[in-house]
Amino acid sequence: MFEIVKMQLNHIKEAAALEKLCFSMPWSESMLLGELENPLSYYVAAVGGDGRLVGYAGMLSVLDEGYIANIAVFPEYRRMGVADALLNFLIEYGETQNLSFLTLEVRKSNASAISLYRKHGFSVEGIRKKYYEQPPEDAYIMTLFLKKEM
């Protein structure tokens, strides 16, 4: 079991370790701390019953636009609904902040992440050529529109 809480300072070290497991160009502890201190950022943590970090997700809000930066889950907790719950929290936050849309980049080869985003209503809106460097790969730009046009 896990619960979703607002990310705190005590989660930074574990989040940085998770970054190293998940991403070829991981964020450092200082980068993550900077996000926590940024008033435009919103980060949540999935915490297990033992108090340890299971996963985390974060986004940046600029005007009425939401940019999802990271969603990461420790391998032993994948396929247990953690990423799904984290993404739900970001979407709900975007709705409460009256954002027009949420958007993100995802590796074209990351089928499981693409499937998760599609499940939540995100669609491919474009491609960023050579967005990722290690290894080189294009990214899909996926977007969820929150405000319905009148």
Cα end-to-end distance, the chain, whole Å:
41
Q: Which amino acid is at 13?
A: K
CA angle, residues 41, 31, 134, in degrees to nearest 5: 110
Catalytic residue among 42, 43, 117, 140: 117
Task: Work out whether the CA dihedral 82, 85, 88, 94 comes out positive or negative.
Answer: negative
User: Do β-strands 123-133 and 101-107 pair in parallel, antiparallel, or remain unpaired?
Assistant: unpaired
Residue 95 annotated among the catalytic residues of the structure: no
Q: Which residues sit opposite 82 in a β-bridge?
A: none
Residue 149 annotated among the catalytic residues of the structure: no
Catalytic residue among 105, 131, 132, 149: 105
CB count, 10 Å around CB of 76?
Answer: 7
DSSP classification of residue 77? G
- The residues that are catalytic are 105, 117
